[in-house]
Amino acid sequence: MAKEIKFSLVYRDMWQSSGKYVPRVDQLVQVAPAIIGMGCFDRVETNGGAFEQVNLLFGENPNKAVRAWTAPFHKAGIQTHMLERGLNALRMNPVPADVRELMFRVKKKQGTDIARSFCGLNDPRNLRRSIEFARKGGMISQAALSITFSPVHTVEYYMGIVDQVVEYGAQEICLKDMAGIGRPSALGQLVSLIKKKYPHILVQYHGHSGPGFSPASMLEVARAGADILDVAVEPLSWGKVHPDVITIREMMKADGFLVKDLDMDAYMEVRRLTQSFIDDFLGYWINPSNARMSSLLVGCGLPGGMMGSMMADLKGFQGAINAAERAHGRPEISLDTLMVKLFQEVEYVWPRLGYPPLVTPFSQYVKNTALMNLLNVLNGKPRWTTIDKDTWGMILGKMGRLPGPLAPEIVALAKEKGLEFYDGDPQDMYPDELPHFRQMMQEEGWDCGEDDEELFELAMHERQYRDYRSGIAKQRFEAELEDLKKKAGAPIVVKRAVVEMPAFSAEEYAARYPQAVPLQAPAKGQLLWEVDVQDDGAAPTAGKAVAAGKAAGYIQAYYGMEEILPAMDGRIVAVLARQGEKVVKGQIVAFIQPD
């Protein structure tokens, strides 16, 4: 009898691979019946990742959103699954073990069946607690392999991880091909080995469309014994997102697999509703480039979802780089040439930093290091002059073991700076904190919520949760949306009278201060030189001292607050952006003259 291939709709990831926000809970509940009506899905990815931070930034309660969103699927007999980041759980930085454990209990009570857990470094130690906590909380534990392509990431390498996570108790394996650069033949070989050694283990494949391999990869893993494929639907499918269910279903059917029928009327309703959500407000944050595939992603291995932010980085740096080129009597560099140079530098940097899989947050670390290398080299400085503290944390082993060896020059640089390498369990560096947060709830007079879900939100996303409770988050979101709507309609002149700044470009500032180093926004969002200052015109004065590794300002990103960290001690000589402005990742917001 022919094998059945099942499908999972990654509705949450569709949106977050495209833009900043996901639909509101009322929209999610509206589209759920049509998704169910399609009749072809055994699973739907409903939450996890940045889903909950997005709800908080809307000014909505994410706990209510998860309960409402998962309920109709349960009633229809469709399983729901979430994505979590191992040591980082639902955020970008490490989470104490007791908070991680509470997460699985809460999510199971809220209606999430399966926990897809991945470690960006593929360190099984970071997955062990996720597996144990998921099963203890009553969830199905699905351990995800962060798939990439390098001399280190062989089929044997991944099977070694599979052996360990199965020993820890993982019930399912996911091949998380986050950049879509896994080679189809190797993925098929891996699935075949998993199924031969562990026939009881369910295998699910998740691949992005960016460089174009994913349909071939889906066919190969299905032929090798994979059970479930992650798919998307129009108008968000393809591009940098995931293949569309219609194409993949027809491909599987033609190859002799059993597949469920697909109700096209329901598909068109999901398509219509999804487009209506884009037209309503979500489209304001979707970069048009995400609708396009690109073979340029094959070489550098960067996730397709990073392309929009990466181009913004390059635009922010182009002026400073061309100022350096002119100073050295060289011709200016176009944006396309600069992009190719960055891709080449990523290819240079990646192996020397130990081949970390290019998935959040390590893709950002590698790309940022490559970008700073590019700027420094063009300014006549050596590579590795500027490495931020988070990247150093990765290098030193504080987030887990790197898959490959570090280059000798990186090891030597660490020793030169007096930095110590760490080989212990990363979780041991982050002591339990739940009693502390429970006390906070009592002091604020807040109820811990059903199944301690409100306590969990405070502990996982403290700042965003406080902004949600105070109402600031909703006000900020509504103001951001209104601003984007106005800009989309007609040019708006915004008068900011608090601080007068010369109207120089980043390029002109770089020429004026050739020894200065740009201070960049680490993420896309709202610039806050001071967190508690409500004055939208405020900015630091020229001459203000800053210290390496100490926050000079902040970015309110969709997932939380990011610090703007100078790479060296010095003084601000020029400010290019004011308090409250919307900035893109990599945008130069100030220049620092080293002391």
Residue 472 within any structural domain of the chain: no
Helix, strand or coil for residue 126? Answer: helix
The arithmetic mean of pLDDT across residues 419-427, rounded, is 95
39 plus 13 within the same structural domain: yes
Mean per-residue pLDDT, 25-29: 96
Paired sense of beta strands 582-583 and 525-528, if any: antiparallel
Count of CB atoms within 10 A of residue 58's CB? 23
> Does any domain span residue 470?
no
8 Å CB contact between 43 and 142: no
Q: Identify whether residues 261 and 357 lie together within a single domain.
A: no
512: CATH = 2.40.50.100
Tokens of 110: 């809220």
**Same-domain check for residues 22 and 68:** yes
Intra-chain end-to-end CA distance of the chain, in Å: 74
The whole domain housing 49 covers: 6-287
Which conformational region is residue 391 in: left (phi greater than 0), alpha (psi within -120 to 50 degrees), or beta?
alpha
Rounded Cα–Cα distance for residues 512 and 505 (Å): 11
Structure tokens at 358: 């290019």
The answer as to whether 495 is a domain residue is: no
**Is 458:61 a contact under the CB 8 Å cutoff?**
no
**Which residue reads 């080679």 in tokens?**
183
Same domain, 522 and 424: no
**Does 459 reside within a domain?**
no
- Output the CA angle 410-305-186, nearest 5 degrees: 70
3-state SS, 361-399, equals CHHHHHHHHHHHHHHHHHCCCCCCCCCCHHHHHHHCCEC
Instruction: Tell me the residue type at 190.
Output: L
Q: Is residue 305 over pLDDT 80? A: no
| Domain stops at, among 406, 428, 450 | 428
| pLDDT score at 498 | 30
* One domain, residues 317 and 230: no
Lookup result for tokens 């759980």: 89
Residue matched to tokens 């979430």: 82
Do 114 and 11 belong together in one domain?
yes
Same domain, 178 and 259: yes
- Rounded CA separation 395/402 (Å): 8
User: Under the phi-then-psi rule, with left for phi > 0, alpha for psi from -120 to 50, and beta for the rest, what region is 87?
Assistant: alpha
Cα–Cα distance, 369 to 446 (Å, whole number): 42
Question: Out of 34-48, 195-209, 265-279, 531-545, which region has the weakest mean confidence (pLDDT)?
Answer: 531-545
Q: Which residue has the higher pLDDT, 538 or 228?
A: 228
Separation between Cα atoms, residue 20 and residue 476, nearest integer Å: 14
Give 330's contacts (C-beta < 8 A, 6+ positions apart). Answer: none
Which is more confidently placed, 593 or 3?
3
| CB contact at 8 A, 72 and 33 | yes
What is the mean pLDDT of the segment spanning 160-165?
98
Q: Which helix (H) or strand (E) holds 127?
A: helix 124-136
User: Letter for the amino acid at 160?
Assistant: G
The secondary structure element, H or E, covering residue 176 is: strand 172-177
Average pLDDT for 380-398: 90
The candidate with the shortest Cα–Cα distance to 177, out of 136, 205, 142, 212, is 205
Query: What pLDDT is attached to residue 311?
Result: 67
State mean pLDDT over 505-510: 56
Nearest alpha-carbon partner for 138 in 166, 167, 111: 111
User: What letter does residue 244 receive in the DSSP assignment?
Assistant: B
DSSP structure class, residue 26: H
Among the three residues 287, 309, 330, which one is the final residue of a domain in this structure? 287
Q: Is the pLDDT of residue 415 over 50?
A: yes
Preceding amide of 403 cis, omega within 30: no
Spatial distance between the Cα atoms of 460 and 225, rounded to a whole number of angstroms: 37
SS3 state of residue 83: strand
Other beta carbons within 10 angstroms of residue 562's beta carbon come to: 21
Q: Where are the alpha helices (DSSP H) in 169-213?
A: 184-197
Average pLDDT for the chain: 89
Percentage, residues of the chain above pLDDT 90: 62
pLDDT range class, residue 363, cuts 50, 70, 90 = confident
| Domain co-membership, 158 together with 27 | yes
Pairwise CA distance, residues 266 & 254, whole Å: 22
The domain boundary residue, chosen from 428, 462, 477: 428
Report the predicted TM-score, pTM, of the whole model to 2 decimal places. 0.81
- If you compute the radius of gyration of the chain from its CA atoms, what whole number of angstroms results? 24
Name the residue with higher pLDDT: 98 or 490: 98
Residue-level pLDDT at 512:
59
In a domain, 124, yes or no: yes
- Give the count of domains, the chain: 3
Distance (Å, rounded) from C-alpha 300 to C-alpha 310?
Answer: 13
Query: Do 250 and 317 belong to one domain?
Result: no
586 pLDDT higher than 80: no
Q: From the CB of residue 439, how many other CB atoms can be counted at a distance below 10 Å?
A: 10
Which pLDDT belongs to residue 308? 55
Q: Is 388 within the bounds of a domain?
A: yes
Residue 304's pLDDT is what? 63
Q: Is the pLDDT of residue 513 over 80?
A: no
224's tokens: 């090798």
| 323 close to 352: Cβ distance less than 8 angstroms | no
Same-domain status, 134 and 62: yes
Across 367-378, average pLDDT: 86
Q: CB–CB of 574/542 below 8 Å?
A: yes
Check pLDDT > 80 for residue 495: no
Spatial separation of the C-alpha atoms in residues 65 and 30, rounded to whole Å: 12
Would you state the torsion angle of the CA atoms of residues 294, 297, 303, 308, taken in this order, to the nearest 10 degrees? -60
Contact criterion met (CB below 8 Å) for 404 and 153 = no
Q: How far apart are CA 507 and CA 23, in angstroms?
A: 39
Is 579 a domain residue? yes
Same domain as 317, residue 223:
no
Largest CA distance in the chain: 76
Element counts in the chain: helices (H) and strands (E): 22, 16
Q: Please check whether residues 303 and 381 belong to one and the same domain.
A: yes
Q: Is residue 161 part of a domain?
A: yes
CATH number reported for the structural domain that contains residue 242 in this entry: 3.20.20.70
